[in-house]
């Protein structure tokens, strides 16, 4: 769908509002073209000494009334048209948000956050202006042009009108060339703004790292370069937009010269009255707006077209994980990974190879292994963040792809290693999945996550704002808040993806002890580098290079004297040294 089809579809859905605005615009245009004709009659009457006294005052009052009517009608159509066109921005932003919320990690690995934000703001604003100001200026300019030309040709003198319009074809050629440059310039300007926005977003997110590494000067230089580039491209677009005015001015001056020459000749030979020439000159001045409107419309449409070319690929992108499931209810049951094999796009080696794992209801599965062995990948496939390639994941006998994504993910509580907190209070972050939860329930899960005492030490307790991404809290506090949030959701499957990496061993032991009591009837998968976190799991699998190298209970793995046993002895020795 191109921009014109998008605008046509929007106008058709809001036809009543656009028709009402068009009627008011038509009234404005009709009154506008009547004023020069009335002025011409008044001039001729004054020259002939046929108008004076009360009659003159009445004619002037009529002109004043027309002016006031034009004023109020202009206010009316602006309110009507712009209030409608802003709905397009609302619709596009809502559609973009829904589209982004449906995408998986694979999509965002190919996109930049700052650039997506620029598309949601700057680009949609450009499309919105095409639906509002461009539609307004186009209709108003075209209607005024038709009425003015009709009055010039039919109401004054058609020969004089044809002569005065001779420069206009050259203006049309100039507009066509300028509009082509405007489209290209705005495309570069919007792209460079997206790059600048992305750099600012990354800078603010990683400001602590930049300061720690002393990279402020280099980062400032890069920001200055991107800002200058965005400014240059915007200036280039504005410069080409400004080129409309000289073309309009040259056309108007040429038409005025022709009008005075030909009109003077006709007046001299008695073929045209002075009042008629006055009216024609005023109509010629009224052509300024249609000419400027044409340039303004072309500029807005080219800008909107460039923005739409950036927006449309994102809006039309297929979800990285198709949501084709129909089952809306998921009953807890056996979770099975059958011959699961997965490659990340572009990677030659598989991240997982022929995994077979079973997790009965109410049991705990521990997943351990070296860094990069595929532990987190297993959880991502379970949550369908990536589409399955080979093998299957079945829950309660049904393939996970048979469930809607909302149903599947609503049945899982996931705690990632990098816990994300929203810029809200502690209580609001814990109650994210259950906003209706009471204070008693919030405090209960906070105690289970061993974070209740930490919260009470905060300035406002549970009402303390945590700042953007939980910046006011430590890494361990953020992880424990995320665990409390997952426990409050009370989903049948709990996933802990190295969610205890930022807490000390004593706190970890306390949390695990609480979880043993809290997870009754709930299946749990614990991914961890610390083997102590999975020691009491019913079954433990060791992943190495994407395949299972060892599996069994904690005692059985120690007896195998493999990677697990070696790592266990190392970590126990490390813990004992820390206690010294």
Phi, psi of 340 (to 5 degrees): -80, 125
Domain identity same for 311 and 345: no
The verdict on residue 510 lying in a domain is yes
Domain identity same for 130 and 213: yes
Q: At what angle do helices 244-268 and 216-242 cross, to 10 degrees?
A: 20
- Confidence bin at 72 (pLDDT 50/70/90): confident
| Least confident residue range of 148-152, 483-487, 523-527 | 148-152
The verdict on residue 146 lying in a domain is yes
CATH number for the domain that contains residue 289: 1.20.1560.10
Domain identity same for 531 and 406: yes
Residue 575 scores a pLDDT above 80: no
The verdict on residue 468 lying in a domain is no
Domain identity same for 281 and 310: yes
The verdict on residue 434 lying in a domain is no
Domain identity same for 67 and 156: yes
* Per-residue pLDDT, 178: 80
Nearest CA-CA partner of 286 in 412, 417, 144, 484: 144
Number of domains in the chain: 2
For 19, the domain range is 3-315
The verdict on residue 178 lying in a domain is yes
The verdict on residue 401 lying in a domain is yes
Which of 282, 315, 348 is the last residue before a domain boundary?
A: 315
Domain identity same for 185 and 284: yes
* Per-residue pLDDT, 540: 92
Domain identity same for 370 and 310: no
Which of 286, 315, 344 is the last residue before a domain boundary?
A: 315
Percentage, residues of the chain above pLDDT 90: 6
Q: Are 331 and 410 in contact (CB under 8 A)?
A: no
The verdict on residue 463 lying in a domain is no
- Confidence bin at 519 (pLDDT 50/70/90): low
What average pLDDT score do residues 234-248 get? 79
Alpha-carbon distance 421 to 297, whole Å? 45
Alpha-carbon distance 504 to 487, whole Å? 20
Look at the block and give the residue holding tokens 């009335």. Answer: 38
Residues 6+ apart with CB under 8 A from 188: 233, 236, 237
Domain identity same for 288 and 206: yes
The verdict on residue 484 lying in a domain is no
Domain identity same for 67 and 123: yes
Domain identity same for 346 and 402: yes
Domain identity same for 34 and 172: yes
Alpha-carbon distance 203 to 218, whole Å? 11
The CA radius of gyration of the chain, in Å to the nearest whole number, is: 36
**Structure tokens that stand for 472 in this block:** 């006011």
Comparing 377 with 106, the larger pLDDT belongs to 377
Tens digit of pLDDT for each residue in 420-460?
888 888 899 899 888 888 889 898 888 888 888 888 988 88
**DSSP class of 153:** I
CATH number for the domain that contains residue 391: 3.40.50.300
Domain identity same for 305 and 348: no
Nearest CA-CA partner of 411 in 380, 383, 391, 430: 383
Nearest CA-CA partner of 449 in 412, 489, 409: 489
| The pTM of the whole model exceeds 0.75 | no
Tens digit of pLDDT for each residue in 114-150?
788 888 888 888 888 887 777 777 777 777 777 777 7
Tens digit of pLDDT for each residue in 533-562?
888 888 999 999 889 999 999 999 999 988
**Structure tokens that stand for 272 in this block:** 């045209």
Max mean pLDDT among 212-221, 379-388, 495-504 falls in 379-388
Q: What angle do CA 203, 208, 210 make, to 5 degrees?
A: 60
């Amino acid at each position: 769908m191109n921009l014109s089809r998008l605008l046509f579809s929007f106008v058709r859905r809001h036809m009543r509002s656009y028709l009402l605005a068009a009627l008011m615009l038509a009234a404005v245009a009709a009154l506008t073209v009547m004023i020069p004709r009335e002025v011409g009659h008044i001039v001729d009457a004054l020259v002939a000494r046929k108008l004076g006294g009360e009659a003159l005052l009445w004619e002037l009052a009529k002109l004043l009334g027309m002016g006031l009517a034009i004023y109020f009608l202009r206010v009316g159509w602006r309110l009507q048209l712009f209030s409608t066109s802003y709905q397009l921005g609302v619709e596009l932003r809502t559609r973009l948000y829904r589209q982004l919320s449906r995408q998986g990690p694979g999509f965002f690995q190919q996109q930049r956050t700052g650039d997506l934000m620029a598309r949601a703001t700057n680009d949609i604003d450009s499309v919105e202006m095409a639906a509002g100001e461009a539609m307004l200026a186009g209709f108003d300019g075209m209607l005024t042009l038709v009425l003015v030309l009709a009055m010039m040709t039919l109401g004054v003198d058609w020969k004089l009108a044809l002569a005065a319009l001779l420069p206009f074809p050259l203006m049309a050629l100039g507009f066509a060339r300028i509009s082509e440059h405007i489209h290209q310039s705005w495309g570069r300007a919007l792209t460079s703004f997206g790059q600048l926005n992305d750099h600012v977003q990354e800078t603010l997110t990683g400001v602590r790292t930049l300061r720690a590494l002393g990279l402020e000067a280099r980062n400032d230089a890069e920001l200055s370069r991107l800002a200058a580039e965005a400014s240059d491209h915007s200036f280039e677009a504005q410069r080409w937009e400004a080129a409309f005015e000289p073309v309009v001015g040259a056309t108007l001056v040429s038409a005025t010269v022709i009008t005075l020459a030909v009109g003077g000749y006709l007046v001299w030979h008695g073929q045209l009255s002075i009042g008629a020439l006055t009216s024609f000159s005023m109509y010629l001045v009224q052509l300024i707006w249609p000419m400027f409107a044409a340039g303004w419309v072309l500029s807005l449409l080219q800008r909107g077209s460039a923005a739409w070319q950036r927006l449309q690929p994102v809006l039309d992108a297929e979800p990285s994980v198709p949501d084709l499931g129909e089952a809306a209810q998921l009953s807890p049951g056996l979770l099975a990974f059958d011959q699961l094999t997965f490659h990340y796009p572009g990677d030659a080696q598989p991240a997982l190879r022929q995994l077979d794992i079973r997790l009965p209801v109410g049991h705990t599965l521990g997943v351990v292994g070296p860094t990069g062995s595929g532990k987190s990948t297993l959880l991502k496939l379970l949550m369908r963040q990536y589409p399955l390639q080979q093998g299957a994941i079945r829950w309660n006998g049904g393939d996970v792809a048979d469930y809607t994504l909302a149903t599947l993910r609503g049945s899982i509580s996931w705690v990632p290693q990098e816990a994300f907190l929203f810029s809200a209070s502690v209580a609001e972050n814990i109650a994210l999945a259950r906003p209706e939860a009471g204070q008693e329930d919030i405090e209960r899960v906070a105690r289970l996550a061993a974070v209740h005492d930490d919260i009470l030490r905060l300035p406002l307790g549970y009402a303390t704002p945590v700042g953007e991404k939980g910046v006011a809290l430590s890494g361990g506090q953020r992880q424990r808040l995320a665990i409390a949030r997952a426990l409050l959701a009370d989903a049948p499957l709990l996933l802990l993806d190295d969610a205890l990496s930022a807490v000390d061993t004593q706190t970890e032991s306390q949390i695990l002890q609480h979880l043993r009591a809290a997870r009754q009837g709930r299946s749990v998968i614990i991914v961890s580098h610390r083997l102590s976190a999975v020691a009491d799991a019913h079954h433990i699998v060791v992943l190495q290079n994407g395949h299972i190298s060892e599996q069994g209970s904690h005692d059985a793995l120690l007896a195998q004297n493999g990677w697990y046993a070696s790592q266990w002895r190392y970590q126990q020795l490390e813990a004992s040294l820390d206690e010294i």
